[in-house]
Structure 1
Amino acid sequence: MPLSRFHSLRTYLDQLILGQPLLTESLLTALIADGHLLVEGPPGLAKTRAVKALCDGVQGDFHRIQFTPDLLPADLTGTDIYRAQTGNFEFEAGPIFHNLILADEINRAPAKVQSALLEAMAEGQVTVGKSSYRLPELFLVMATQNPLENEGTYPLPEAQLDRFLMHLNLDYPSAETELAILRLSRNEALHTEPVTVEPITQEEIFAARKAALEIYLAQPLERYIVELVMATRQPQKYSDELASWLDYGVSPRATQSLERCARARAWLHERDFVTPEDIQAVAPNVLRHRLLLSYQAQAQGISRDQVINHILSLVAVP
């Protein structure tokens, strides 16, 4: 089990991505749980740097795609090109055919481009014309959204958001962390004190995924996961206040994602069993983008995180 190698990778990421421990742990969780991340936060919070650092720490290739309103699906997936020499069409693969993808400002692209990316995320393939093409077995997408600007954006529908394993909200670092970032950037500019790590092979990643799936999850905790999900769908059984805040609950994908992320977190924390704390720790990131708040909740300024915390307080812990 290559756990020590992942600890080294976690240390490497924390040394390069200062003040964002949630981001680095979530990247590793998504890598082990075989899912994709949606990261929302102001610019300059090392979102691009984080996924590039992860790529340096694993044996894989990386590509950044800047989403813009004039982007076409073919710019993402590739297209059939006519070769005059042979008289045939040949498929020219697009940038999506890499192991780690940064989909920067995904909400700036129109719906057809978003759909092409989401097919790749959900199916592990792209379709061009009448043919489908498999993506690499190791395939992770980290999509970003800028919450500060809404002009010229195409918000992702809730059904498409559901295809992301987790949704993270990032905030600015503290003053002490900002000072450390200043010093790190200066050292990097002077090419001093380089931080390196021996890359983890793809075989080790697949072995870690298998090991995480074998982590023991007791039946009461399975029921606990289901109860958390049911509290979003039948909130009236738990409290009238919760029922007034929710229009729609989360899908079965949320149940599966809670289990996978809890197992991955337990494995990363060197345990061979899942605890209630593992489930509670991943619940906000797994449920945040899947809840549909009522107009009453929005009018009261109730956030999704407040709703999730309320659910966690209402559902009994086994």
Structure 2
Amino acid sequence: MLQMSTAARIEPAELARVQQIVAGISRSFEAKVVGQSRLRETLLISLLTGGHVLLESVPGLAKTTAAQTIADSVSAAFHRIQCTPDLLPSDIVGTQIYDAAQGTFVTQLGPVHANIVLLDEINRSSAKTQSAMLEAMQERQTTIGGQNYSLPSPFLVLATQNPIEQEGTYRLPEAQMDRFMLKDVLDYPSPVEEVEMVRRIDAGVFSAEATPTAVAGLDDVRMIQRTVRNVYLDPALVHYIVGLVYVTRHAEKYIDPALACLIEFGASPRASIAFTQAARALAVLQGRDHVIPEDVKSLAARVLRHRIILGFEAVAENIPVETVIDAIVGSVQTP
């Protein structure tokens, strides 16, 4: 039994206000996007923590619509960048343009200077462009002509990968993927959801005039992020989180050797940090001011799937990383 602190970390009125805003964002999402409840949860966790998300799916599963809807719901600046092999770092962060009339160089900021940035098919951009984008994600600033330009707050990146096309792509290095707080893998909608999607298109739900009304502002988002940081996380749960990450590095001692031998590299300490941040946000989404073990377990795949590196044997035997993650979660005692 966890020993919860008797001191109130979050005022009930503050939690109620956060719940009201989050509920409004969820309604806007559901009005535009059919199904995709886990995508909604992942994007809300990203918004509540300021963490970046990597989304993997085939085209046409409403990733752009979902990101645009979240941005419209909180009056956030939204930019979508279509990644291609010829995309340059300056196309993302910005550049200096010579103004002949003034005889000086003028800085033109790139599309990364927005609150929510969608990097569509990030693996299609070159390694140099990926590096520039990921540096902006980490440092929260860009450098143009020797001058630093801070990125707006809040700032979060949603990057997508198309797993079915490999031609003309540049695989993200493992160290760079680690900078994404979560990785979610989306599946096709059910037949019922697809029928509803077609009905909404016919009804004009996705027309340009059907922009959702903002239910909050950027000040509200910053307030929610401060609230999330105050969610109570019991020390026993911190040890549980660190234990899960530790097992990824020493799996041969804890899980079936046939699965443990598939792991080439385990997760870094960034995984522990991502667990604590995302679990606090998930607790708030469920109306609680404290984290429970189920929050951590439900996030395990999203936190670890891009941080555990499997060898070629896993590909040859068609063993997904989620199978290894399930074994790891099952090997650590729940507090």
Q: Same fold (TM over 0.5)?
A: yes
Give the equivalent residue in structure 2 for 1:246: 263
Report the Cα distance in structure 2 between the residues aligned to 1:124 and 1:241, rounded to whole angstroms: 42
Would you say 1:283 and 2:300 are equivalent positions?
A: yes
Question: Which whole-Å deviations, capped at 9, do the CAs of 1:28-52 have from their partners, x for residues lacking one?
Answer: 1001111111111011100110001
Would you say 1:137 and 2:153 are equivalent positions?
A: yes
Amino acid in structure 2 at the alignment position of 1:261: A
Question: Which whole-Å deviations, capped at 9, do the CAs of 1:126-183 have from their partners, x for residues lacking one?
Answer: 1223222111011111111111111111111111111111111011011111111111
Give the equivalent residue in structure 1 for 2:137: 121
Bigger drift between 123-132 and 256-265 goes to 123-132
TM-score computed with the length of structure 2 as normaliser: 0.91
Give the equivalent residue in structure 2 for 1:317: 334
Report the Cα distance in structure 1 between the residues aligned to 2:230 and 2:89, rounded to whole angstroms: 38
Shift of residue 195, structure 1, vs aligned partner: 7.7
TM-score computed with the length of structure 1 as normaliser: 0.96
SS at match of 1:289: coil
Report the Cα distance in structure 1 between the residues aligned to 2:284 and 2:32, rounded to whole angstroms: 23
Q: Is the 8 A contact 2:75 2:214 kept in 1?
A: no
Q: Is the 8 A contact 2:49 2:277 kept in 1?
A: yes
Would you say 1:301 and 2:283 are equivalent positions?
A: no
Report the Cα distance in structure 2 between the residues aligned to 1:108 and 1:144, rounded to whole angstroms: 10
Report the Cα distance in structure 1 between the residues aligned to 2:244 and 2:315, rounded to whole angstroms: 22
Q: Is the 8 A contact 2:200 2:206 kept in 1?
A: no
Q: Is the 8 A contact 1:3 1:208 kept in 2?
A: no
Shift of residue 298, structure 1, vs aligned partner: 2.5
Question: What RMSD over aligned residues (CA atoms) do the two structures have, in Å?
Answer: 1.6
Report the Cα distance in structure 2 between the residues aligned to 1:170 and 1:46, rounded to whole angstroms: 10
- 1:33-48 map, 5 Å: 33-48=49-64
Give the equivalent residue in structure 2 for 1:273: 290
Question: Which whole-Å deviations, capped at 9, do the CAs of 1:242-274 have from their partners, x for residues lacking one?
Answer: 421211001111110000000000011001110
Percent sequence identity is 44
Shift of residue 190, structure 1, vs aligned partner: 9.6
Q: Is the 8 A contact 2:237 2:293 kept in 1?
A: yes
Shift of residue 294, structure 1, vs aligned partner: 2.1
Q: Is the 8 A contact 1:9 1:197 kept in 2?
A: no
Report the Cα distance in structure 2 between the residues aligned to 1:190 and 1:50, rounded to whole angstroms: 11
Q: Is the 8 A contact 1:109 1:154 kept in 2?
A: yes
Give the equivalent residue in structure 2 for 1:31: 47
Question: Which whole-Å deviations, capped at 9, do the CAs of 1:45-99 have from their partners, x for residues lacking one?
Answer: 0011000111110121111111111111111111112223333222111111111
Q: Is the 8 A contact 2:48 2:221 kept in 1?
A: yes
* Gap runs ≥5 in structure 1: none
